């Protein structure tokens, strides 16, 4: 059997002051300070033949074509295939916007483009260094539970969905934990996953921040050692307990939420023994009836399987409106933006109307082209009896549960926000009961607002099922 080798490395990815952040259309300013360091951490695993790279980045969003190019770049740097490179975005809403995200002012687009170039370079550097630092290793897995997440799709008395809190609603409390140690049991990296929007740093805070995942990482690293990687799970419909923090200084709640998650990771990781196991029961002595289970060293192969696969899946949209309706919508959206600009409206008004104007352009283009589709990347990485199953959408927690339930492996981490983030992925039953109205502004909850991703209209209701089916097919292929 081959042996496992592992290495980890990190780069700080702080943005320049003055850059716009990715999240919150109601945030009226740009980055004025760094709340705590944003980082990208790479873990490289190899069995001497295959090699996988797992990157955790404090980034809110990246365009799929850009991410495809970055994965190829990282793969070339470490000598593997791009299908073996997984880049997970923690989705913090206090990270920099990217130039493809929003039709911004030229100075902002230039600033964002420079930052994105730097970010890609830092991620490549981290992967290359992690590859160079590989040592013989073992990996173990465990599962904890954490209650920081709350279901956010609240319904008003008229049946309208809005962004709120439903404390009694089910969620996925799972905290998936992987411990990667050297042969002496000393930590190289602790990988942990949980699904929840990182929005404790709210829209009135003009800082760049990794949000609660950064606070969780700090606690884990101080308690265990080595580096830690937070992988965003399936948190598309999950908010942190307490919701958006509307203070200018949100550090208290950010640290409390992060510490709660980090403490569960520490508890779970401390119970994972990679280098030793309990031996057979023995008596302490001939005159004593006290029995013990002495620790014995773990022996044998450290890697039974190391493999990865990915696939691009094309998702369709629901029916587009007639051309005349699309033109009328575009005229309305452009007029709304121009009106706000001419009267000097609030910043948030300009941002929202500009987003809708951009969406209306794409709507008309899709109608004139006779249709449109959107690509989603699904990926699975297997290490021994562990599988990381990921896709490039804002995935709901129920989808993560379905993937884990359908996986034949003992330990399955289900991830969204990976290798890009192209749209929300609601299930068929999450769609409005009365059907989509393209003229309705679903301001209340972002996953109903397809305009947030400038998609021409909503994705087809069967999209989530197709993503689950393809993900499970990839997992089956790795079995």
Report the predicted TM-score, pTM, of the whole model to 2 decimal places: 0.96
Query: pLDDT confidence of 442, banded at 50, 70, 90?
Result: low
Q: How far is CA 225 from CA 343, 346, 476, in A?
A: 55, 46, 34
Strand (E) or helix (H) holding 369: helix 347-369
Residue 46 has pLDDT above 80, yes or no: yes
Cβ atoms of 88 and 231 within 8 Å: the answer is yes
Nearest 5 degrees, angle CA 130-CA 135-CA 136? Answer: 135
Burial code of 346-373, b = ≥16 C-beta within 10 A, e = fewer? eeebbbbbbbbbbbbbbbbebbeeeebe
Distance (Å, rounded) from C-alpha 148 to C-alpha 173? 8
203-209: average pLDDT: 96
Query: pLDDT confidence of 332, banded at 50, 70, 90?
Result: very high
* Residue 161 pLDDT: 85
Ranges of beta strands (E only) in 351-426 are 373-383, 386-391, 394-395, 411-415, 424-425
Tokens of 132: 């160079």
| Digit-coded pLDDT (tens) for 60-93 | 999 999 999 999 999 999 999 999 999 999 999 9
Ranges of beta strands (E only) in 4-47 are 4-12, 33-34, 39-46
Residue 98 has pLDDT above 90, yes or no: yes
The better pLDDT of the pair 449, 237 is held by: 237
């Amino acid at each position: 059997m081959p042996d496992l080798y592992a290495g980890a490395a990190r780069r700080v990815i702080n943005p320049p002051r003055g850059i716009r952040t990715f999240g919150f259309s109601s945030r009226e300013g740009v980055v004025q300070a760094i709340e705590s360091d944003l980082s990208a951490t790479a873990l490289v695993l190899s069995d001497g033949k295959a090699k996988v790279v797992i990157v955790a980045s404090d980034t809110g969003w990246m365009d799929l074509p850009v991410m495809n190019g970055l994965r190829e770049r990282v793969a070339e740097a470490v000598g593997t295939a791009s299908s073996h490179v997984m880049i997970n975005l923690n989705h913090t809403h206090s990270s920099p916007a990217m130039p493809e995200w929003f039709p911004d002012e030229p100075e902002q687009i230039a600033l964002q483009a420079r930052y994105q170039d730097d970010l890609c370079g830092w991620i490549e550097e981290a992967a290359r260094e992690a590859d160079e630092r590989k040592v013989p290793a073992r990996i173990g897995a465990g599962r904890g539970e954490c209650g920081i997440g709350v279901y956010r799709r609240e319904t008003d008395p008229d049946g309208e969905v809005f962004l709120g809190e439903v404390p009694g609603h089910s969620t996925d409390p799972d905290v998936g934990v992987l411990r990667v140690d050297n042969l002496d049991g000393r930590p190289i990296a602790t990988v942990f996953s949980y699904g929840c929007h990182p929005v404790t740093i709210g829209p009135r805070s003009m800082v760049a921040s990794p949000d609660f995942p950064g606070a969780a990482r700090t606690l884990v690293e101080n308690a265990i050692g080595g580096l830690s990687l937070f992988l965003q799970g399936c948190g598309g419909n999950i908010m942190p307990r307490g919701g958006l923090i509307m203070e200018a200084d949100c550090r208290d709640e950010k640290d409390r939420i992060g510490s709660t998650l980090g403490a569960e990771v520490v508890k779970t990781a401390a119970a994972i023994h990679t280098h030793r196991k309990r031996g057979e029961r023995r008596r302490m002595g001939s005159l004593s009836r006290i029995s013990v289970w002495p620790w014995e060293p773990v022996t044998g192969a450290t890697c039974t399987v190391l493999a990865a696969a990915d696939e691009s899946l094309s998702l369709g949209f629901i029916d587009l409106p007639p051309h005349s309706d699309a033109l009328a919508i575009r005229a309305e959206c452009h007029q709304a933006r121009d009106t706000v600009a001419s009267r000097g409206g609030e910043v948030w008004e300009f941002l929202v109307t500009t987003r809708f104007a951009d969406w209306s352009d794409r709507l008309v283009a899709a109608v004139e082209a006779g249709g449109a589709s959107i690509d989603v990347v699904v990926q699975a990485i297997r290490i021994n009896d562990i599988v990381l199953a990921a896709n490039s959408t804002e995935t709901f927690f129920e989808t993560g549960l379905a993937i884990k339930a359908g996986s034949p492996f003992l330990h399955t981490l289900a991830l969204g926000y990976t290798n890009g983030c192209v749209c929300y992925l609601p299930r068929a039953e999450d769609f409005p009961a009365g059907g989509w109205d393209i003229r309705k502004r679903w301001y209340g909850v972002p996953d109903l607002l397809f305009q947030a991703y400038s998609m021409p209209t909503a994705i087809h209701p069967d999209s989530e099922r197709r993503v689950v089916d393809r993900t499970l097919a990839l997992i089956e292929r790795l079995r």
